[in-house]
Structure 1
Amino acid sequence: MDVAFANLYIDAYQEHTKGNSVSASWLFSFENATEELTILQHIMLGINAHINLDLGIATAATMKGKELTLIEKDFNTVNDILFNITNEMQDRLSRVSPLLFLLDLLGKNTDEKVIDFSMRKARQQSWNSTNLLWALDESQKPEAIAKIDLLVLELAKFIKDPKSKIIGYVLKGIRSFEEKNVGQIITKLQRD
């Protein structure tokens, strides 16, 4: 399943670079890659499309003809793993986004709970999509995927432009002090 899951991103990226059509949520992410967003927003746009759209598609395809409950425990175990790396992810992001802590202050240090809740909700939605796609005939899947994609696109729009003016101003402030060189960002994020 992990290869099928990874390939959905790779395929979307390659198709986009060739000028071919991709899902609306991936298109939105790719089209906003050069927008002046925070590094976290860029990461969240990719995570949004990959988890909320691709994961359900990959899981349903992998389990086609098999009992879906066989993978449910593994699917849910990933939630705990993701939550356990939240602090490490924040530490690494602070290397390239030194004012990211402002979101902690704004969230009154509840951001880990919010991230965990959001990730669990996203993965629950992905599991719901998996169940739907797994149960459908092949002829019904494209329409269902298109509908899921539109929901994922709406979340992407919210990630890009939060409705809260305060959060919008804080994000602009965070962005102004972030590392801008992509190569440096990758190097600093990879460093142990």
Structure 2
Amino acid sequence: MKATTIGDVLSILTGIIADTTSRRDPLGYFAALYRQVTLEVKNGIVAGSFDDGPRMSGFDASFANRYFAAYETYTSGGTPTRSWQFAFDRVRTGKLIILQNLLLGINAHVNLDLGVVTGTKFRGSALSGFHADFDHLNEILASLIPRVRAVIEQFSPRIGELTELADDAPELALRFSVEAARDDAWRIATLLSVTPSTFVAPAVELIDGKAKLVGRVVADQPEPVASIVRHIRAAESTDVAAIITALDSVV
């Protein structure tokens, strides 16, 4: 699975969603969200809201290819990057709530993949010319959060109990994850854009390790939060196919 245009990305994601839906595999949750984000990015390209539409289409493909490589490696029995391995393993346990599933995917793809692709694709001074489109890409993801929250609430009737910890906690968790990861990804890109090629791979290993640690924070909650999460999970829908379909319909 390798994309060269945003159209390819949508086609590959559609295939992953169809496969995970038929197998009732919760790995399809993130794929569904990702396809919706990609549709909005494509709409933005068509509308001319990016500084360079063709550049964004190519970048979107390069960005997605890291997820596709991780997914294909994992589902074929191989070992992807540590942050993706952790995310996929935890999702497959069936013990996480929908919100955690999505946050793990966002973490691995933004905290690792986005910074790596941006920093290696736009080297040196070329990076500054991509900053506006980089920010707009992440604004699109953030704009979908209220609609994603609505889907989560549809299948997770107790998710609102997280508000005992913070007002509007589900949306805040998604929004903070996106915003914090975006800012970290730009810092990573800035570093990698000036890193000599021989040191890029070791640097990416370190970044991957950090992203895995963030994933642990998302998935392995301490008490009393862990008890609340289990309580929420007990009431969540087990209709994986319906959840995937709903997440793939927010745009």
The normalised TM-score by structure 2 is: 0.70
- Aligned-pair identity in percent equals 31
Hey, what does 2:214 align to over in structure 1?
155
Relative distance call for 1:39 and 1:7 in structure 2 (3 A) is same
Which runs of 5 or more structure 1 residues have no equivalent in the other structure?
none
- Is 1:95–1:188's contact at 8 Å kept on the other side of the alignment? no
Cα deviation, residue 53, structure 1: 0.2
Q: Does residue 178 of structure 1 match 2:207?
A: no
Q: Does residue 19 of structure 1 match 2:77?
A: yes
Q: Does residue 42 of structure 1 match 2:101?
A: yes
- Is 2:106–2:177's contact at 8 Å kept on the other side of the alignment? no
Q: Does residue 67 of structure 1 match 2:159?
A: no
Cα deviation, residue 168, structure 1: 1.1
Q: Which residue among 128, 134, 139 is the counterpart of 2:187?
A: 128
User: Deviations 1:54-102 (Å, cap 9, x if unpaired)?
Assistant: 0011112321476110111121233433333221111011121121111
Relative contact order (C-alpha < 8 Å, sep 6+): which is higher?
A: 1
Relative distance call for 1:134 and 1:191 in structure 2 (3 A) is closer
Q: Does residue 189 of structure 1 match 2:247?
A: yes
Q: Where do residues 61-100 of structure 1 align in structure 2 (5 Å cutoff)?
A: 61-64=120-123, 67-100=126-159
Relative distance call for 1:123 and 1:187 in structure 2 (3 A) is same
User: Deviations 1:106-135 (Å, cap 9, x if unpaired)?
Assistant: 312365455434422211111111111111
- State the one-letter code of the partner of 2:233: R
Hey, what does 2:205 align to over in structure 1?
146
Q: Which whole-Å CA distance do the structure 2 matches of 1:186 and 1:114 have between them?
A: 20
Relative distance call for 1:73 and 1:22 in structure 2 (3 A) is same
Q: Which whole-Å CA distance do the structure 1 matches of 2:68 and 2:132 have between them?
A: 26
- Is 2:149–2:170's contact at 8 Å kept on the other side of the alignment? no
Q: Does residue 30 of structure 1 match 2:88?
A: yes
Q: CA RMSD in A?
A: 1.9
Cα deviation, residue 159, structure 1: 0.6
- Is 1:56–1:129's contact at 8 Å kept on the other side of the alignment? yes
Q: Which residue among 46, 54, 57 is the counterpart of 2:113?
A: 54
Relative distance call for 1:15 and 1:115 in structure 2 (3 A) is closer
Q: Which whole-Å CA distance do the structure 1 matches of 2:244 and 2:103 have between them?
A: 16
- Is 1:38–1:171's contact at 8 Å kept on the other side of the alignment? yes
- State the one-letter code of the partner of 1:74: D
- Is 2:156–2:233's contact at 8 Å kept on the other side of the alignment? yes
Cα deviation, residue 191, structure 1: 4.3
Q: Which whole-Å CA distance do the structure 2 matches of 1:191 and 1:138 have between them?
A: 41
Q: Which whole-Å CA distance do the structure 2 matches of 1:84 and 1:187 have between them?
A: 20
Task: Say which SS state the counterpart of residue 22 (structure 1) adopts.
Answer: coil
- Is 2:107–2:177's contact at 8 Å kept on the other side of the alignment? no
Q: Which whole-Å CA distance do the structure 2 matches of 1:113 and 1:23 have between them?
A: 27
Q: Which whole-Å CA distance do the structure 1 matches of 2:176 and 2:103 have between them?
A: 14
Alignment: residue pair count: 191
- State the one-letter code of the partner of 1:86: I
Task: Say which SS state the counterpart of residue 126 (structure 2) adopts.
Answer: coil
Which runs of 5 or more structure 2 residues have no equivalent in the other structure?
1-58
